[in-house]
Every structure is written in structure tokens, then in C-alpha cells.
Amino acid sequence: MESIFFLVVAAVAVISSILVVTCKNPINSALSLVMTFFCLATFYVMLDAPFMAATQVIVYAGAIMVLIIFVIMLLNVRVETVKRGTHAVIAGSAIGLFVLFQTIWFLMKGSMTGKVGEMTKEQIVSVGHVELIGKALFTDFLLPFEVTSVLLLAAIVGAVILAKKKI
Amino acid sequence: MDTLILGLPVAYYIAMVAKVLVAFVFVLLTVAYATYAERKIIGHMQVRLGPMRTGWHGLLQPIADGVKLFFKEEIIPSQASKFAFLIAPLVALIPAFISFAVIPFGDTVTIGGYTVPLQIAAYYDQAGKQVFDVNVGVLYILAMASLGVYGIVLAGWASNSKYSLLGGLRSAAQMISYELAAGLAIISVFMLSESLSLHKIVADQAGGAWYAFKQPLAFVIFFICSLAEINRTPFDLPEAETELVSGFCTEYSSMKYAMFFMAEYANMITVCAVTTTLFLGGWHGPAFLPGWFWFIAKVYFLIFVCMWVRATYPRYRYDQLMRLGWKVFLPLTLVNVMATGLWVMFISK
């Protein structure tokens, strides 16, 4: 049951991510990317990480992609104004093939089960996913968390300074 | 014994499906009659009669409107982007409806010997003791609300018309600005409830300990921000008819226009249901009537308030709207979150 569901969602994810790069219209590409993000959120739910799924939808599908679509709409990029160079296609295919080869290599070499961490499924269900993430963020990863927030603040201040002519 | 599917008898699934169907049909009917109620209420507030001709006091008006829109000609502008133009009404409508999945609209009922919680995305464990529901329900609602903006933005862009594009842009800016303040207002609620599950938040408000009393500022700000997020008057700039013809849905006709209309009313009902759940004690009320009755009564009261606001206030100007969102509500909610944090840390513990 669960594996059938996984296969359906995975197929949608793969198809929509192919559409992201093949669509001629930039808005349709952006919409396919939203669909891909949605499929990723579904995977998070299946991995017992509902909080990750919700933030994935809120942050990526809800905020970042809206801004990207906003920019495309304002620039009014209609169907394919950018020419596709053959060099880019060759380089892209080479990198893609290399990554595929590497993935297959590591899958053949390494063990399929992977390392078992300290967070088990039962623990996540009993303590709660949000509680575990919150605790980890404010104890073990406090410094990176604070540094990230300072970085974001700097970015906001920078954006305001860039956008305003006179302060 | 019955046949089992995934360890549960078939009758249990029938009970769950019945619950979903009843809830969904009820929401659809409420959407249809909210349009009627709006015309009637605003009519009487402006000393008019409102619809009177179809049926007794115009009661069949929503059905007549539906039939009329169904038989109208579908027009797709020749310069429109077809795919986005066709998909936009759906993208607007679906998130509005699926937000209902996590809202608890009553206590439990017993159907065919099984205890079923009155919340679509929830079930009891085998012993019938503990409810399992979406434990990030609040975030789920925020996520769906943030997807609703796509419908309007796409409609505005795909129509290839200046009025539509301006309406779509206004709506995107407005929804993103007000989402922030609404989210921060909700944060102060789940700082008190210490849970993101709507079931737990409602259980915390049993016996009249509503969060509207504990968090009056968050309650007011959340409700106003929600009105702005669903583009209701006084924040209906995306479809300001005096300046933008009809905003993002200028080029739409027939059923597609009806779908935007339905999405607007479904959003209003969702927002009222979420406000009831988070701040007005959900389905809790005096015990002589069942929980779902109190839930429906509170939601209908809030819907009435939305219409009352529409009949009372003029539309905001665009700069006033942005100032209200970013310079008034955002700082106020931040202060509210700080104050709630201090209160939880030093006084309530």
C-alpha cells in the first residue's frame, strides 16, 4: 500500500522535475517546480516528519516560489527569449551523467540499509516531531541557529539599503 | 466478524467516509447560501430587500445563480496562456476546501458501533481511547493558505490583461504581507497550548477558557489579517471594481468565474472556522446542545461579522493597507509574542 503510494508520488515528482527544465514558458516551469516541492513534502510526511512537510510547503511552495513567479510576471518573460546554447547542453549532460554514475557507484559499493541514528520512528511518534526539532535547535545547534538569524537580518538590512535611494 | 482492511473492519471505513461526505456537502451548501446571506444581510443593512423573486424571500437564488453560470458561454481570451488560465480557478478553489480536513468540528459520534471523532483527518486507536490527528494542524492550515495565492496570481498573469495583472500583483503583495502577521498572531496561541495539534488546542479551551480572552490582541489581529488574506472588504483591492473592473477575474466567465466566487466564500468559511477553533473554544459550549451545533453557531456568527464589516467600512487605499500590515500589525504581534513568552516563563509556571 505505502510503496504503491510512494511510486505514484515519485513518478509525479520525476515528471514534474523534467517539466521544470523542458517547459518553454517560464511560468509553467515555475509551476512544475511547485509541484516538485509538493511531492517532496509528501515524502516528508511518509517519513514521519510532518513538521518538515509543512515548512517545505510554507517556505518553498508558499513564499519563495510566489516571489519567483512575481519576478517572472513583472519582467514579462514570454515564451523563450533566451537562446539555448549547445555548449550549455553538452556541459549539463556531462555533469548529469557524472552524478548519475557516482550515485550508482555508491549504491553498488555501500550498504543499502545505511547507518541507524539515535532517532527511531517510535521515539519521533512518542515525543513529537516538532518538540524534537525545537529541542535540537535550541540546545545542540544553538550557535548555528543564532548565526543564521543574524545572517538573515543582515540580508534584510542589505535589501532595504539597496532598494532605497535615500535613507 | 467483518473482513479487515489494514487491520480495521469495513464498517469503520464506511463510517469515516460518511463523516467526510457529510462535512463536505455541508460546507458546499454553506458556500452556496453564504452568497444568499451576504446579499440579504447587506440588502437589509442598506434598507433594501435583497433577492426576493426566486422562491420564498429569494431562497432559491443561489441555485438559480448556479444554473445561470453553468449555462453561460466559456470565453478564453485568444492571447491568454491556456494552461495557466484553465488551472487557476482550480488552484484557488482546492486549498480553500482542503483546509477543512484538520478542523475539529465537534466531539465524537458513534456510527455503526464505532466512535468517530468529528474531524476529517483524525481517527481513534483500536481501543477507542486516544485520538490521532495531524499533529501540525495549525501549520497545515498556514501552508494551504499560502497556496491559495497561486490561483489569483496565475489568473492575473494568464489572462494577459492589464487589469487582471494589476489585481494579481496586488493580491500577491497583500497576501504575503498579512500572512506574516497572522502567523505571528497564531504563534502566541500555541505558546500557551504547547501544541500544534488543533485537537489539543480545542481541548485546552474547554469550560470557557477561550484563547480570545487570554490573547485578545492576537485574536483581533488574526481576524483582521485573515480578512485581508482572503481579499474581503475593506481589503478587497485585488478586485476593486471602481479602478480594476473586476481585478484578477476580469477575463473569466461561466463556471470558471463561479469557481473563483466559490473559492472566495469557501475561504471566508475556512477563516471563520479556524478563528473559532483557535480563539473561540472550537466546539465547546453549554452541554445541552451537541458540540457541532456550537461550532456551526460560532462559525455562522463570524461569517455574519465579515458581512457586517463589508457593509460598514470603505475600502483601504493601497499605501494604507501596506502601512497597516507592516508598521502596525507586525510590531504589535512581535510584542505580543514577547509578552506571552515572558508570561509563560515567569508567571504561569
**pLDDT single digits (tens) B44-57:** 888 888 888 887 88
pLDDT at A101: 92
Are residues A145 and A98 part of one domain?
A: no
Q: List the single residue in B with minimal CA-CA distance to A69.
A: B153
pLDDT at A78: 59
Q: List the single residue in A with minimal CA-CA distance to B159.
A: A73
Residue among B135, B144, B169 with most chain A CBs within 10 A, to mutate: B135
Q: What average pLDDT score do residues B63-69 get?
A: 84
Residue among A130, A132, A138 with most chain B CBs within 10 A, to mutate: A130
Which of A45-49, A119-123, B342-346 has the lowest average pLDDT?
A: A119-123
Q: Does B132 touch chain A (CB under 8 A)?
A: no
pLDDT at A74: 75
Q: Residue B194 above 50 pLDDT?
A: yes
Kindly state the helix (H) or strand (E) to which residue B97 belongs, with its residue range: helix B82-98
Q: Which of B126, B201, B230, B132 is nearest to A128 (CA)?
A: B132
Q: Does A61 touch chain B (CB under 8 A)?
A: yes
Question: pLDDT digits over B321-334, tens only?
Answer: 888 888 888 899 99
**How many domains would you assign to chain A?**
3
What is the C-alpha separation between B276 and B79, in angstroms, rounded? Answer: 44
Cell triple for B88: 487557476
Q: Residue B119 above 50 pLDDT?
A: yes
pLDDT at A100: 92
**Type of residue numbered A2:** E
Q: Residue A108 above 60 pLDDT?
A: yes
CA distances A41 to A19, A48, A81, B92, B147, Å, are: 18, 11, 32, 20, 13
Closest by Cβ to B157, choosing from A51, A57, A73 = A73
Of the pLDDT bands very low, low, confident and very high (cuts 50, 70, 90), residue B126 is low
Interchain contact, B146 vs A130, CB within 8 Å: no
Are residues A102 and A59 part of one domain?
A: no
CB half-sphere exposure, A156, CA atoms < 13 A:
6
What is the C-alpha separation between A121 and B136, in angstroms, rounded? Answer: 17
What is the C-alpha separation between B70 and B254, in angstroms, rounded? Answer: 6
Cell triple for A113: 540499509
Which of A98-112, A135-149, B243-257, B275-289 has the lowest average pLDDT?
A: B243-257
First to last CA, chain B: 50
Which of A13-22, A68-77, B61-70 has the lowest average pLDDT?
A: A68-77
Sequence-distant (6+) residues with CB within 8 A of B186 are B138, B142, B218, B222, B278
Q: Does A19 touch chain B (CB under 8 A)?
A: no
Name A79's bridge partners: none
B23 within 8 A of B33, measured Cβ to Cβ: no
The secondary structure of residue B315, as a DSSP letter, is P
pLDDT at A11: 92
Percentage of the residues of chain B whose pLDDT score is greater than 70: 88
Q: pTM of the full predicted structure?
A: 0.82
Check if the interface score ipTM surpasses 0.90.
Answer: no
Are residues A73 and A10 part of one domain?
A: yes
B307 within 8 A of B264, measured Cβ to Cβ: no
pLDDT at A149: 92
B190 within 8 A of B282, measured Cβ to Cβ: no
Q: Residue B127 above 60 pLDDT?
A: no
Residues 139-158 of A with CB under 8 A from B: none
A17 within 8 A of A43, measured Cβ to Cβ: no
Closest by Cβ to A69, choosing from B139, B153, B165 = B153
Interchain contact, A27 vs B81, CB within 8 Å: yes
Place of cell 511510486: A7
pLDDT at B231: 79
What is the C-alpha separation between B30 and B24, in angstroms, rounded? Answer: 10
Q: Residue B186 above 80 pLDDT?
A: yes
Cell triple for A74: 513583472
Please say which residue of A79, A102, A135 terminates a domain.
A79
Q: Does A167 touch chain B (CB under 8 A)?
A: no
Q: List the single residue in A with minimal CA-CA distance to B164.
A: A73
Q: Residue B239 above 80 pLDDT?
A: no
Are residues A1 and A70 part of one domain?
A: yes
Interchain contact, B136 vs A25, CB within 8 Å: no
Mean of all residue pLDDT scores within chain A: 82
- Geometric angle at alpha carbon A8, from A3 and A12, rounded to 5°: 140
A57 contacts on B by Cβ (under 8 Å): 143, 146-147
Q: What average pLDDT score do residues A27-47 get?
A: 86
**CA quadruple B135, B140, B142, B147: dihedral, nearest 10:** 170
Q: Which of A72, A9, A80, A64 is nearest to A42 (CA)?
A: A9
What is the C-alpha separation between B331 and A94, in angstroms, rounded? Answer: 51
Of the pLDDT bands very low, low, confident and very high (cuts 50, 70, 90), residue A98 is very high
Q: Determine the distance from the C-alpha atom of residue B92 to the mean position of all C-alpha atoms in its chain, rounded to a whole number.
A: 12
Are residues A73 and A58 part of one domain?
A: yes
Residue among B196, B198, B200, B229 with most chain A CBs within 10 A, to mutate: B196
What is the C-alpha separation between A136 and B250, in angstroms, rounded? Answer: 50
Q: Which of B159, B183, B154, B181 is nearest to B169 (CA)?
A: B154
DSSP letters for B266-279: HHHHHHHHHHHHHH
Q: What average pLDDT score do residues A47-67 get?
A: 83
Residues 250-279 of B with CB under 8 A from A: none
Q: Residue B129 above 60 pLDDT?
A: no
Residue among B147, B177, B187 with most chain A CBs within 10 A, to mutate: B147
Are residues A167 and A131 part of one domain?
A: yes
What's the gap in Å between the CA of B161 and the closest CA on chain A?
A: 12
DSSP letters for B160-186: T-HHHHHHHHHHHHHHHHHHHHHHHHH
Are residues A104 and A46 part of one domain?
A: no
What is the C-alpha separation between B133 and B143, in angstroms, rounded? Answer: 17
Q: Residue A102 above 80 pLDDT?
A: yes
Look up the domain containing A126 and give its range.
118-167
Are residues A34 and A13 part of one domain?
A: yes
Q: What average pLDDT score do residues B191-212 get?
A: 79
Closest by Cβ to B143, choosing from A25, A28, A57 = A57
Handedness of CA B167, B170, B174, B177 (dihedral sign): positive
Which of A85-99, B110-124, B260-274 has the lowest average pLDDT?
A: B110-124
What's the gap in Å between the CA of A147 and the closest CA on chain B?
A: 20
B154 contacts on A by Cβ (under 8 Å): 27, 31, 69
What is the C-alpha separation between B255 and B347, in angstroms, rounded? Answer: 55
Q: What average pLDDT score do residues B195-213 get?
A: 79
Closest by Cβ to B146, choosing from A53, A62, A130 = A62
B50 within 8 A of B39, measured Cβ to Cβ: yes
Interchain contact, B149 vs A55, CB within 8 Å: no
Percentage of the residues of chain A whose pLDDT score is greater than 90: 19
Q: Does A33 touch chain B (CB under 8 A)?
A: no
What's the gap in Å between the CA of B5 and the closest CA on chain A?
A: 11
DSSP letters for B16-65: HHHHHHHHHHHHHHHHHHHHHHHHHHHHHHTT-----SSSGGGTTHHHHH
DSSP letters for A114-146: ----S--HHHHHHH-HHHHHHHHHHTTTHHHHH
Mean of all residue pLDDT scores within chain B: 81
Q: What average pLDDT score do residues B220-227 get?
A: 89
Handedness of CA B149, B150, B151, B155 (dihedral sign): positive
Q: What average pLDDT score do residues B245-261 get?
A: 77
Q: Estimate the crossing angle of helix B162-193 against helix A65-75, to 10 degrees.
A: 160
What is the C-alpha separation between A98 and A82, in angstroms, rounded? Answer: 26
Query: What are the CB-based long-range contacts (under 8 Å, 24+) for B41-45?
Result: B41/B304, B41/B307, B41/B308, B41/B311, B42/B307, B42/B310, B42/B311, B45/B308, B45/B311
pLDDT at B1: 44
Do strands B4-5 and B8-9 pair parallel, antiparallel, or not at all (unpaired)? antiparallel
Please give the residue that has the higher pLDDT: either B308 or A76.
Answer: B308
Q: What average pLDDT score do residues B194-202 get?
A: 79
What's the gap in Å between the CA of B282 and the closest CA on chain A?
A: 23
Question: pLDDT digits over B133-163, tens only?
Answer: 677 778 888 888 888 888 888 888 777 777 8
Q: What is the CATH number of the domain that holds A25?
A: 1.20.120.1200
Question: pLDDT digits over B96-115, tens only?
Answer: 888 888 888 877 776 666 66
pLDDT at A82: 56
Are residues A129 and A153 part of one domain?
A: yes
Are residues A104 and A37 part of one domain?
A: no
Interchain contact, A61 vs B153, CB within 8 Å: no
Q: Which of B239, B156, B88 is nearest to A70 (CA)?
A: B156
Are residues A44 and A23 part of one domain?
A: yes
Are residues A157 and A88 part of one domain?
A: no
pLDDT at B124: 66
A54 contacts on B by Cβ (under 8 Å): 136, 139-140, 142-143
